[in-house]
Structure 1
Amino acid sequence: MDILRFATAGSVDDGKSTLIGRLLFDSKAIFEDQLEAVERTSRDRGTEYTDLSLLTDGLRAEREQGITIDVAYRYFATPRRKFIIADTPGHIQYTRNMVTGASTADLAIILIDARKGVLEQSRRHAFLATLLRVPHLVLAVNKMDLVDYSEERFEEIREEFTAFASKLNATDLTFVPISALHGDNVVARSENMPWYGGSSLLHHLENVHIASDRNLVDVRFPVQYVIRPHSATSQELHDYRGYAGQVAGGVLKAGDEVMHLPSGLTTTIKAIDTFEGQVEEAFSPMSVTLRLDDDIDISRGDMICRPNNQPKAVQEIEAMICWMADGLKLQPRTKLVIKHTTRTARALVRDLHYRLDVNTLHRDETAASLGLNEIGRVSLRTTQPLFVDEYARNRLTGGFILIDEATNGTVGAGMIIDSH
């Protein structure tokens, strides 16, 4: 079975955590003691129903306020597919958490309260999802029970959001009317909305096609670790030399000719090893160990690719940055550490071109800095070449993080839009 990673986003109190709780409950992915604890807490709080949002709102501060402020990850499976859920916050001050949760997602569910319609936060989350190149978007119009399951209200919201999405790079957009509290159209089709001809939310999650979303054309293998078991007792293991890492793009097979960067030397793949044993081929996002025919000086941070299909080796980068640091601003001449795939270098912010208002999509070209949760376009120069692709082409080799040398904390996430 393949794995679908999806993120939920939306305005505060739109029912994201309740929706995930409903998915876990109706797909029988929770234990009896978990359900008993949720029922007990719900009674203690005086609610007349079992509050399924408590299954994901694990932090005490979240339970007291009834909101989600951290990225809560949950896992469940059906006979068709495995799922990893990132329940991301709705508040504007937690934009960085939304970026973190959606950065690895295959699909994003944006919840909208049927009573309130498309809000500013709904537009912001849709923009962030498309900025992060999440391939599939689902607009779940929640709380349909509070508008008497009105088809007219659902169509109003769909038309308004479709008009806004036309300004974004949304490649796959699906609309589902639901009631997370009562389970309408979440796991099973709802009898309360006979006018809706689409599938339930879970059916869509089980069947959405994600295999073609991954880049299987451009071979990219950032080397994470060189395996040399010198203490091995057998001669065969003593001579073993493998290069471990996660395939970031393309398909690798035994016998393929590959090139090592930065040396430019070419060799052939002798074998591909995994924890379970040898495999004939490897593709993203598999973690494997490559053995090569020739003894080349390869170390962490190097890249293995095809001789006629190489990433750019660059030191000048144009990128969109989401700034995540509280108390530290990004401005020209700021010095940081950049971590791209498995390579780490120092970087200098050469210029801040504009700050982007994620609510109106307006570009403020007079901005002097980026603060917490703000997004802007910057120029960076690195101390050593990075092997990059544009983020639109490959999210793994087109993304990076920025680290503050003083605290060793992650202060920014970047998406490469151009390189020189």
Structure 2
Amino acid sequence: MDLLRFITCGSVDDGKSTLIGRLLYDSDSVSLDVLATLEKRGSSNGGGVDLALLTDGLKAEREQGITIDVAHKYFTTPRRKFIITDAPGHVQYTRNMVTGASNADLAIVLVDARQGVIEQTRRHTLLASLLGIKYFVLAVNKMDLVGNDEAVFERIKTDYQAIAEQLRLPHVLAIPLSALNGDNVVRPARSLPWYGGPSLLQHLESVPVAADANPREARFQVQYVIRPQTEALPDYRGYAGSIQSGVYRAGDRVRIHPSGVETVLEAIEVGQREVPSAEAPQAVVLRLRDDVDVSRGDAIVPVSAHPAVVRELEATLCWMDERPLRAGRKLLVQHHAALVKASVTAILQKTNIETFESVGTEEAKLNDIVRVRLRTALPLVADAYRANRATGAFILVDEQTGNTLAAGLVQATDPDYFTQEMPIEAVYSI
């Protein structure tokens, strides 16, 4: 069976946690001990099972009745395996939604039938689109609270279709449902006789799973250098990490970036055993034929691959800090294991959440989505996000506090920007 990763998003109180709980409950994916605990708690409170508690595990979430952190749940049907990400809907926790959507194949955008499409619906849809999600489900929830009125569903569907056309979303399906009652979640609902499409689970079981974004372009970044220096292994040197994309084969000629040194991939180890080849997303240890200088954050790629090795790039940011971002700000770029100093040389534009149009701006405020130009102190091996989700994403980090400032997606690289020799003091002066 294949695996589908999906995220539930939308505004606060749209019913995301309840929907996931209903999916798990009605598909018999809740363990007996957990179910017994929920039923006991429900009976003590004089009500039924609170399905939202299957995902809202933090004490603060249960006290406030909202989702704060990202929760992951796993379940299996006879047709497919699933990993669900329950993202918070409150605008304060948009950063958590970005984290949850970064690995998803499909987004379920919930809308309260009484409220319709609102700003957070638009923001989450835009972010999911920017993060490369191709399949969207518009789940119009709480249909029972509007009398299962088809006209209400059609109005919301039309409003969301306008968003889909603006963002050029390739695959969108609208489904009316009631997560609390289970209508149209796992099985088709008799209460919605005018709807002739699949239930939510039926659609999730049939939607195609996205393939590797760039299977031919192999990418590997060193996370840890292994040098035991024991009597049994006096000369052992291995480079541990996860293959980010593509396939690696023992005997391939590879190039180390950013140094550009070439050598041969002597061996590949998986679980301390040599294998002839490995592919993404396997965790591996690579051993090289020559004793070359390789450090944490360096990339090892086949010589036939052509990654961009850059010190300047354009990127889309979701700004996550209370302090506004302005041009000239110095910070750190965390690109997987690589951590380098950088400067924001320009803020090019901001996206208007209401119209999705690009507008000029001099600063980025909390939750703003902006396009910027970054200049790094040392070269990065990066790809445009649209070509490779694994190597096109990064975060910005505050130098003093270590706090995450923004999630970034590489939009364009300029490999010729630093073709001329630069004095070392100029590189570190930023």
Q: Do these two structures clear the TM 0.5 threshold for a shared fold by scoring above it?
A: yes
The match for 2:42 is 42
- CA-CA distance at 1:22 after TM superposition: 0.9
Give the secondary structure class of the aligned counterpart of 2:97: helix
Gapped regions of structure 1 (runs ≥ 5): none
CA distance in 1, matches of 2:186, 2:378: 50
Give the alignment of 1:208-219 within 5 angstroms: 208-219=207-218
1:14 and 2:14 correspond: yes
CA distance in 2, matches of 1:413, 1:32: 39
Against the structure 1 CA distance between its residues 191 and 255, is the aligned structure 2 distance closer, same or farther, given a 3 Å change threshold? farther
- CA-CA distance at 1:232 after TM superposition: 5.7
1:325 and 2:321 correspond: yes
Q: Which amino acid aligns with 2:328?
A: R
Tell me if structure 2 keeps the 8 A contact 1:135–1:213: no
Tell me if structure 1 keeps the 8 A contact 2:212–2:245: no
The match for 2:427 is none
Give the alignment of 1:111-260 within 5 angstroms: 111-231=110-230, 233=232, 237-260=233-256
Gapped regions of structure 2 (runs ≥ 5): 415-430
The match for 1:25 is 25
CA distance in 1, matches of 2:87, 2:159: 24
1:116-163, CA deviations, whole angstroms, 9 ceiling, x for partnerless residues?
Answer: 322222122111110111232121122233344444443333232122
1:175-225, CA deviations, whole angstroms, 9 ceiling, x for partnerless residues?
Answer: 222221122222223343354443332233233322424320211111112
CA distance in 1, matches of 2:177, 2:156: 13
Against the structure 1 CA distance between its residues 80 and 257, is the aligned structure 2 distance closer, same or farther, given a 3 Å change threshold? farther
- CA-CA distance at 1:14 after TM superposition: 1.3
The match for 1:342 is 337
Kindly report the root-mean-square deviation, in angstroms, between the aligned alpha carbons of the 2 structures: 2.3
CA distance in 1, matches of 2:283, 2:206: 25
1:323-369, CA deviations, whole angstroms, 9 ceiling, x for partnerless residues?
Answer: 2123x33212211111112211101111122332323324341x332
Give the secondary structure class of the aligned counterpart of 1:76: strand
CA distance in 1, matches of 2:103, 2:380: 21
Give the alignment of 1:220-369 within 5 angstroms: 220-231=219-230, 233=232, 237-275=233-271, 277-326=273-322, 328-365=323-360, 367-369=361-363
- CA-CA distance at 1:386 after TM superposition: 0.5
- CA-CA distance at 1:315 after TM superposition: 0.8
Give the secondary structure class of the aligned counterpart of 2:380: strand
CA distance in 2, matches of 1:386, 1:84: 31
Tell me if structure 2 keeps the 8 A contact 1:350–1:380: yes
- CA-CA distance at 1:272 after TM superposition: 2.3
The normalised TM-score by structure 2 is: 0.88
Range moving further from structure 2, 170-179 or 400-409: 170-179
Q: Which amino acid aligns with 1:299?
A: S
Give the secondary structure class of the aligned counterpart of 2:203: helix
CA distance in 2, matches of 1:232, 1:319: 48
Give the secondary structure class of the aligned counterpart of 1:295: coil
CA distance in 2, matches of 1:287, 1:197: 45
CA distance in 2, matches of 1:61, 1:263: 48
Q: Which amino acid aligns with 1:17?
A: S
1:295-332, CA deviations, whole angstroms, 9 ceiling, x for partnerless residues?
Answer: 33222111122323211111112111112123x33212
CA distance in 1, matches of 2:78, 2:208: 16
Tell me if structure 2 keeps the 8 A contact 1:214–1:284: no
Q: Runs of 4+ in structure 1 displaced over 6 angstroms? A: none
- CA-CA distance at 1:111 after TM superposition: 0.7
1:267-287, CA deviations, whole angstroms, 9 ceiling, x for partnerless residues?
Answer: 333332212744443222222
Q: Which amino acid aligns with 1:378?
A: V
CA distance in 1, matches of 2:213, 2:131: 14
The match for 2:93 is 94
Q: Which amino acid aligns with 2:291?
A: D
Against the structure 1 CA distance between its residues 399 and 4, is the aligned structure 2 distance closer, same or farther, given a 3 Å change threshold? same
The match for 2:50 is 51
Aligned length: 414
Against the structure 1 CA distance between its residues 36 and 405, is the aligned structure 2 distance closer, same or farther, given a 3 Å change threshold? same
Tell me if structure 2 keeps the 8 A contact 1:216–1:283: no
Give the secondary structure class of the aligned counterpart of 1:63: helix
Range moving further from structure 2, 65-74 or 409-418: 65-74
Against the structure 1 CA distance between its residues 13 and 210, is the aligned structure 2 distance closer, same or farther, given a 3 Å change threshold? same
CA distance in 1, matches of 2:186, 2:234: 54
Q: Which amino acid aligns with 2:157?
A: R
CA distance in 1, matches of 2:378, 2:411: 19
1:374 and 2:371 correspond: no
Against the structure 1 CA distance between its residues 247 and 37, is the aligned structure 2 distance closer, same or farther, given a 3 Å change threshold? same
Q: Which amino acid aligns with 2:394?
A: F
Against the structure 1 CA distance between its residues 405 and 88, is the aligned structure 2 distance closer, same or farther, given a 3 Å change threshold? same
Tell me if structure 2 keeps the 8 A contact 1:94–1:373: no
- CA-CA distance at 1:91 after TM superposition: 1.9
